Amino acid sequence: MTDITIIGTGNMGSAIAKRAAAAGRSLQILDRTPENAARLAGELGSGVISGGLAEPALGDIVVLALYYGPAQEVVTRLRGSLTGKTVVDISNPIDVETFDSLVVGPGTSAAEELAKLAPEASFVKAFNTTFAGPLSEGSVDGQPLDVFIAADSEEARKQVADFASAAGLRPLEVGGLRHARELEGFQLLVMALQANPAYENFNWGTALKILG
Amino acid sequence: MTDITIIGTGNMGSAIAKRAAAAGRSLQILDRTPENAARLAGELGSGVISGGLAEPALGDIVVLALYYGPAQEVVTRLRGSLTGKTVVDISNPIDVETFDSLVVGPGTSAAEELAKLAPEASFVKAFNTTFAGPLSEGSVDGQPLDVFIAADSEEARKQVADFASAAGLRPLEVGGLRHARELEGFQLLVMALQANPAYENFNWGTALKILG
């Protein structure tokens, strides 16, 4: 039995895998380059299985640790094996030419668009406001990172919230999947601040948190 | 000469007035009930002038410390006296029936709609993510509050950023006025969390902050 499948072995995939391993969850790592998946699995310790995108996703939770474009491709490709699973979209559909707008329209979100590609899966938006560095640590300034979670399925939302809690993070459930719009929209601003030389202390290592 | 006019004497008007007084700015307080304006002016100390909505707004910066509906009425009414001024919209156009959506459409924002009512003024979105309690203190957990600022006029944006800095807060300039959409959208989620009994530690006294 596998708890969580992580697809993608970049900074975010590695950070989420590290949190999942810390939480004691059993893991499968998949990547379009199977050697990358095997390398990350090896770093995480024994018992972590790995493979390429021809492998079926085995986890109850499948995390798409991918940019929006590749996530669209992967969901289309793996659609059959995602039926009944909780699929986590972490992407930020930023227009990287301008860093000033999203590539999805104002009345939708990357998460909702991905959900349309695999209607038999339960999509969850989460981890799009956590940068890889702090996520890898699990905390910032000694406080647990906030993980904002949006999903239509209460069960799927709870599954991801339980994972976040077990991983030492603080889950904040913000409602239905359409609230991915606000999560993606605000992260556009946070990312633009990282890229803005006027804020030299921000260097892709900040954390968005509700204090108090 | 008056630096800042604050229209409205509720929790937010009082908190912003307190920060402005702490920053040494000269103030005018206006309210539809002039007695309320006089009361707040009296609390702030000598030299603070006050009046009703028939008075002209004298400040270089005019803060609409109002809900979205009343802000629309006031901008319409004071339109002539706002010409050339920097007008700050702090509102969150939440659907208070559901706490789950905004009353403005997805391709606009309260700030942009208000700006249309007084095209000769420079509108700025700010202070919509700061609750009155922490704002009144100026800090949370010993750290300065973040004030997210969006405006088309760079000069107006800088004016409000300078005020925030002088008031002991941390200004974060996020770009053009259309980014009020993301600021209002995210605050919808933050407000819904305050209203959600599952998060009993959140009680309209939290602060949204970029840490690290």
Digit-coded pLDDT (tens) for B89-100: 999 999 999 999
> In which domain, by residue range, is A15 found?
4-195
Percent of the residues in chain A that have a pLDDT greater than 70, as a whole number: 100
pLDDT of residue A139: 92
Q: Quick check: is A181 in a domain?
A: yes
E strands, chain A, in order? 4-7, 27-30, 49-51, 61-64, 86-89, 122-125, 139-140, 143-144, 146-151, 170-175, 207-211
Mean pLDDT of chain A: 97
Q: Quick check: is A205 in a domain?
A: no
Question: What would the mean pLDDT of B77-84 be, rounded to a whole number?
Answer: 95
Going by pLDDT thresholds of 50, 70 and 90, the confidence category of residue B199 is very high
Going by pLDDT thresholds of 50, 70 and 90, the confidence category of residue B19 is very high
Going from the C-alpha of B99 to that of each of A184, B90, B170, B192, the distances in angstroms are 19, 18, 28, 6
Going by pLDDT thresholds of 50, 70 and 90, the confidence category of residue B117 is very high
pLDDT of residue B59: 97
pLDDT of residue A208: 97
pLDDT of residue A1: 83
Between A63-67, A95-99, A115-119, the lowest mean confidence (pLDDT) is in: A95-99
**Position B209 pLDDT exceeds 90:** yes
**Position A141 pLDDT exceeds 90:** no
Question: What would the mean pLDDT of B144-171 be, rounded to a whole number?
Answer: 98
Going by pLDDT thresholds of 50, 70 and 90, the confidence category of residue A153 is very high
Going by pLDDT thresholds of 50, 70 and 90, the confidence category of residue B45 is confident
B152 DSSP 8-state letter: S
Cβ contact B208–A210 (<8 Å): yes
Q: Quick check: is A121 in a domain?
A: yes
Residues of A whose CB is below 8 A from B183: 186, 189
Chain A residues whose C-beta is within 8 A of a chain B C-beta are: 100, 106-107, 134, 140-141, 143, 148, 172-176, 179, 181-183, 185-186, 188-190, 192-193, 198-199, 202, 205-212
Cβ contact A172–B211 (<8 Å): no
Q: Quick check: is B65 in a domain?
A: yes
Q: Are strands A61-64 and A4-7 parallel, antiparallel or unpaired?
A: parallel
Q: Are strands A139-140 and A143-144 parallel, antiparallel or unpaired?
A: antiparallel
Report the residue from A193, A207, A211 with minimal CB separation from B140.
A211
Residues of A whose CB is below 8 A from B193: 172, 174, 210
Q: Quick check: is B150 in a domain?
A: yes
Question: What would the mean pLDDT of B144-157 be, rounded to a whole number?
Answer: 98
| Burial of B90 per CB tally in 10 Å (0-12, 13-18, 19+) | buried
**Position B43 pLDDT exceeds 90:** yes
Residues of B whose CB is below 8 A from A188: 182
Q: How many CB atoms lie within 10 A of CB A1?
A: 6
Q: How many domains does the structure of chain B reveal?
A: 1
Going by pLDDT thresholds of 50, 70 and 90, the confidence category of residue A130 is very high
Mean pLDDT of chain B: 97
Q: The domain spanning residue A111 has which CATH number?
A: 3.40.50.720
pLDDT of residue A40: 98
Residue of A nearest to B144 (CA): A211
Q: Quick check: is B95 in a domain?
A: yes
Q: Quick check: is A70 in a domain?
A: yes
Q: Quick check: is B201 in a domain?
A: no
